[in-house]
Chain A
Amino acid sequence: MRMWVYVVRRILLLFPVIIGVMTITFAILSALPIQTHLIATFGASKIPYTPMVPCSDVGQPGNGQCRNPTYFQLVHQLGLDQPIWVQWAEYMKNSLTLNWGTVNYHSNAASAFSLTTSIPVTTVLGWYLPYTLELAALSLIIILAVALPLGNYSAVYRNRPIDQAARVMSFSGFALPGFLLATLVLFAAVILSGGATPTCNSNSTHYFDWYGSWPPFPQCANQPTWIGTYIQTSPTGFPTIDAILHGDWFLAGESVRRMLLPALVIAYGSVAGILRFVRNSMLEVLNLDFIRTARAKGVPETAVVSRHAGRNSLNVTVTVLGLTFAGFIGGFPIIEDVFYLHGVGLLLAKSIQPTQDFGLIFGTTLLFTIIVVVANILVDILYAYLDPRVRLG
């Protein structure tokens, strides 16, 4: 029951963090000049966005500057003329009720994904989130599968060739710029796969559609019906899972194959941190007294490392998984942009330049944050479960 108290506390701590992050985004937004908001909301039409205009423009005598009624009307419409804390409260209310505004259909993000009318940001995020989650899961699996054994090895064989090799490998991954690695890998993959062979329409706008992106055959006539107009799939929205649910093993395999490459790039880029941590925690554990006890008991060395040290160092490692997660998910915009993988990262990448779509930018950021926080909580609960000192109070 101590465990439950712990879990509930952990979940309660979620809210201040989320609110804090929202406050940060609010601070940034309210620091922007008012014009930005006007343009973002009403599009770049002919409406004069300046508070003072020549009097003639507003049909008043004299040649001085007069207040621009349209401007103030729009400002009032957006509630930007209210005191800051009222705006904050409003912002909080909207954010917490998942009312994150709509996609600005003038922005190039909208055009990139052919979002014609202004759709709620949350809806779009709902479409794109599953891809990011699948990618994250895949990369996390790869990272752990590599880092845990390798880290233990390099701890046991400290400063010996295997240790050095493991470190060089992982650090090189850290040191290679993600965009560079991703692009080259993709380039190589395209070459190896015999270049670009469009499957159903050759005049695709984005070259890399043919390799990296999902769904595998965009705008194809023979696209299965459970893939919607946009990239959302039914019923769950997770492409692989849906493909399996519909028994379409080819597409399932296809989607995994297409996520494999970006996942590998991400894993390669972020395995270093956790490997280093596994190694160090293992080194510490191996110096502890109970390891000596185990040896004195006559436990064979392999068992000492795997059972006695391994479990302990794993427990320690679990504690940093959350941070690792926060680390590598930050790289998603770039990777998803390169591989043109329809995830939240791509959404973000498309919505920042040349004209920003603030709805999407802040929406995606918030979403990433929530992912990280939730991951952290899950990790903590896992740790609490693994370690009797926490589990039993």
Chain B
Amino acid sequence: MTPVIVPPKGGRPRPGIAQLKRTLYFLSRNTLAIIGLAIVLFFVVVALFSLFSPLSNQSLQQYCSVTYGTNGTVGCQPVCTYDASSGPAPAANCYPTYSGNVGFVGPTVDLTHLTGGPLPLGSMQVSSGTNQYYYSIYDGLLKGSAWSLGIAATIVLSGASIGLVLGAIAGYRGGYTDEVIMRFTDIFLSIPGILLVLVIVASFAGYVQGLEGRMLLLVGAFIITWWPFYTRIVRGQVLVTREQKYVEASRASGAGTGRILTKHIIPNSLYPVFVQLSLDVGAIPLLLGGLIFLGFQIYPSPYFPEWGAMSANSVANLQSLIESCQFGACVFPWWQILFPGLTVFLFAISVNFLSDGLRDALDPRLRR
């Protein structure tokens, strides 16, 4: 007789739901991880928001910016100027000419961009101040969120998928396939840090023009550098999973390599990849910043709105400022360093907390 199949109340549980719940529970016991998760989510939301904000399709608006004279004076170099006494402003972003000492606040334009006091978004003044290129740091960060996260995600995801495939094949096939792939991986792994990116970019930056080209170069260089890490990790995990009896069972009932890889090995080897992946997403803005700081013109314009670039440029600017003027007499444009730096820092550290929590939550050996 054939029994009647009664699906349980509340519909069928999807595979993985229970797993997810478990993971979240263990994650929730780790305060830092929760904080990290919150901040990361916040950044993601901001990025999405920026895509739909008017900023996304228009190019950044230039504001008046401070220039520092060698004799300690501060000038405000307007983009288009007009005499304040003769009527209203001809255009939206035209400002009256102004010059004075530090601390003197002009009648129409205040120097909030010096002190970074909060001002409503879209008001004529610049909350959070501008960078040395007259661009509002706030706008830059907002617009940059999409860029930074986008670039990081593209690099990491494509690197991880390459690593996943190669690692799974190497680990499962073993033998010469394994040898070849792993030797190849070792070669790439032994080039330290971002030097390979640096070399590739340094070599080709001169010949690739335009935003698309530059982005392609950058992302490509990073992917070439990144995949070996994932390959190694995945292989290590696959070597463990491969020995599980359920793999042998499905081979015993005639499953091919492809099925075993996709159905059994890869799903059960994913967790370390998640951990590493979340780590690297945070690392990439830092590395980009490093490249910019070393003076690569990897973006079409020096004020390209990307977090790493912004912080690097501001720091470089700080150096040049300190070198140019007598020490002590300069105005220290802290806002230029603080806001981008803080963004990059927060993003990276929150992602770190998250990935650390994930590791504790996902790793059965550490789970208690």
Residues of A within 8 A of B (CB): 16-17, 20-21, 24-25, 28-29, 31-33, 36, 159, 164, 167-168, 171-172, 174-180, 183-184, 187, 190, 195-196, 206-207, 272, 276, 280, 283-284, 287, 323, 325-331, 333-334, 337, 348-349, 352-354, 356, 358, 361-362, 365, 368-369, 371-373, 376
Residue of A nearest to B225 (CB): A330
Question: Is there an interface contact between A179 and B312, defined as CB atoms closer than 8 Å?
Answer: yes
**Which residues from B are CB-within-8-Å of A31?**
203-204
Question: Is there an interface contact between A334 and B190, defined as CB atoms closer than 8 Å?
Answer: no
Question: Is there an interface contact between B349 and A177, defined as CB atoms closer than 8 Å?
Answer: no
**Which residues from A are CB-within-8-Å of B187?**
16-17, 20-21, 24
Q: Which of B192, B203, B363 contacts A330 (CB 8 A)?
A: B192
A268 to B286, CA, bound (A): 15
B248 contacts the other chain (Cβ, under 8 Å)? no
Question: Is there an interface contact between B29 and A159, defined as CB atoms closer than 8 Å?
Answer: yes
Task: Among B190, B327, B349, find the residue whose CB has the most chain A CB atoms closer than 10 A.
Answer: B190
CB distance from A159 to the nearest CB of B (A): 7
Question: Is there an interface contact between A171 and B353, defined as CB atoms closer than 8 Å?
Answer: yes
Residue of A nearest to B289 (CB): A177
29 contacts between A and B (CB under 8 A): A17-B186, A20-B186, A25-B199, A164-B31, A167-B353, A174-B348, A175-B344, A176-B345, A177-B286, A177-B289, A179-B315, A180-B315, A180-B341, A184-B337, A207-B323, A276-B356, A283-B366, A326-B193, A330-B193, A331-B193, A337-B293, A348-B198, A349-B294, A352-B295, A353-B295, A361-B203, A365-B196, A368-B191, A372-B192
CB distance from B100 to the nearest CB of A (A): 27
A206 to B327, CA, bound (A): 14
B52 contacts the other chain (Cβ, under 8 Å)? no
**Which residues from A are CB-within-8-Å of B184?**
20
A17 to B187, CA, bound (A): 5
Question: Is there an interface contact between A177 and B344, defined as CB atoms closer than 8 Å?
Answer: yes
CB distance from B305 to the nearest CB of A (A): 17
Question: Is there an interface contact between A330 and B194, defined as CB atoms closer than 8 Å?
Answer: yes
The verdict on A178 contacting B286 (CB below 8 Å), with A280-B359, A330-B195, A331-B193 known, is yes
**Which residues from A are CB-within-8-Å of B293?**
177, 179, 334, 337
- Total chain B interface residues with beta-carbon distance under 8 A: 60
**Which residues from A are CB-within-8-Å of B195?**
330, 333, 348, 365, 368-369
Question: Is there an interface contact between B192 and A329, defined as CB atoms closer than 8 Å?
Answer: yes
Known pairs A21-B190, A352-B295 / 13 extra A-B pairs, C-beta < 8 Å: A25-B199, A31-B203, A164-B32, A174-B348, A174-B352, A177-B289, A177-B290, A187-B318, A325-B192, A348-B195, A354-B295, A356-B202, A365-B191
**Which residues from A are CB-within-8-Å of B204?**
31-32
CB distance from A165 to the nearest CB of B (A): 10
Q: Which of A280, A354, A361 contacts B199 (CB 8 A)?
A: A361
**Which residues from B are CB-within-8-Å of A183?**
315, 318-319
Task: Among A180, A283, A369, A372, find the residue whose CB has the most chain B CB atoms closer than 10 A.
Answer: A180
A104 to B315, CA, bound (A): 29
A190 to B365, CA, bound (A): 48
Question: Is there an interface contact between B327 and A28, defined as CB atoms closer than 8 Å?
Answer: no
Question: Is there an interface contact between A326 and B192, defined as CB atoms closer than 8 Å?
Answer: yes
The verdict on A353 contacting B296 (CB below 8 Å), with A167-B356, A272-B352, A330-B194 known, is yes
**Which residues from B are CB-within-8-Å of A352?**
198, 202, 294-296
Question: Is there an interface contact between B289 and A33, defined as CB atoms closer than 8 Å?
Answer: no
**Which residues from A are CB-within-8-Å of B347?**
175
**Which residues from A are CB-within-8-Å of B344?**
175, 177
Task: Among B31, B192, B312, find the residue whose CB has the most chain A CB atoms closer than 10 A.
Answer: B192
The verdict on A362 contacting B199 (CB below 8 Å), with A326-B189, A327-B193 known, is yes
Residue of A nearest to B314 (CB): A180
Question: Is there an interface contact between B191 and A24, defined as CB atoms closer than 8 Å?
Answer: yes
The verdict on A177 contacting B311 (CB below 8 Å), with A368-B192, A372-B190 known, is yes
Question: Is there an interface contact between A177 and B294, defined as CB atoms closer than 8 Å?
Answer: no
A334 to B352, CA, bound (A): 22
Task: Among A195, A329, A352, A365, find the residue whose CB has the most chain B CB atoms closer than 10 A.
Answer: A352
A325 to B219, CA, bound (A): 25
Give 1 or 0 for each of B304-329: 1 = CB within 8 Å of chain A CB: 00001001100100110011000110
Q: Which of A16, A25, A33, A331 contacts B290 (CB 8 A)?
A: A331
Residue of A nearest to B352 (CB): A171
A122 to B202, CA, bound (A): 20
CB distance from A49 to the nearest CB of B (A): 14
Residue of A nearest to B341 (CB): A180
A333 to B183, CA, bound (A): 27
Question: Is there an interface contact between A358 and B203, defined as CB atoms closer than 8 Å?
Answer: yes
CB distance from B256 to the nearest CB of A (A): 33
CB distance from B79 to the nearest CB of A (A): 27
A361 to B43, CA, bound (A): 36
Residue of A nearest to B197 (CB): A330
**Which residues from B are CB-within-8-Å of A369?**
190-192, 195
**Which residues from B are CB-within-8-Å of A36?**
206
Q: Which 10 interchain pairs have the tightest Cβ spacing?
A: A330-B193, A20-B187, A175-B348, A175-B349, A353-B295, A179-B293, A171-B352, A330-B192, A326-B192, A352-B202
The verdict on A175 contacting B312 (CB below 8 Å), with A280-B366, A284-B366 known, is no
Residue of A nearest to B359 (CB): A280
**Which residues from B are CB-within-8-Å of A365?**
191, 195-196, 198-199
The verdict on A187 contacting B322 (CB below 8 Å), with A164-B31, A180-B311, A326-B192 known, is yes
A16 to B180, CA, bound (A): 11
Give 1 or 0 for each of B239-261: 1 = CB within 8 Å of chain A CB: 00000000000000000000000
A301 to B363, CA, bound (A): 26
A32 to B348, CA, bound (A): 35
Q: Which of A168, A174, A276, A373 contacts B190 (CB 8 A)?
A: A373
**Which residues from A are CB-within-8-Å of B192?**
325-327, 329-330, 368-369, 371-372
A353 to B29, CA, bound (A): 49
CB distance from A41 to the nearest CB of B (A): 15
Question: Is there an interface contact between A287 and B186, defined as CB atoms closer than 8 Å?
Answer: no
B24 contacts the other chain (Cβ, under 8 Å)? no
**Which residues from A are CB-within-8-Å of B311?**
177, 180
CB distance from B354 to the nearest CB of A (A): 10
A239 to B328, CA, bound (A): 33
A368 to B356, CA, bound (A): 29
**Which residues from B are CB-within-8-Å of A17?**
183, 186-187, 190
A302 to B203, CA, bound (A): 55
**Which residues from A are CB-within-8-Å of B32?**
164, 167-168
**Which residues from B are CB-within-8-Å of A159?**
29-30
B37 contacts the other chain (Cβ, under 8 Å)? no
CB distance from A294 to the nearest CB of B (A): 19
A274 to B344, CA, bound (A): 22
A327 to B353, CA, bound (A): 20
Question: Is there an interface contact between B203 and A356, defined as CB atoms closer than 8 Å?
Answer: yes
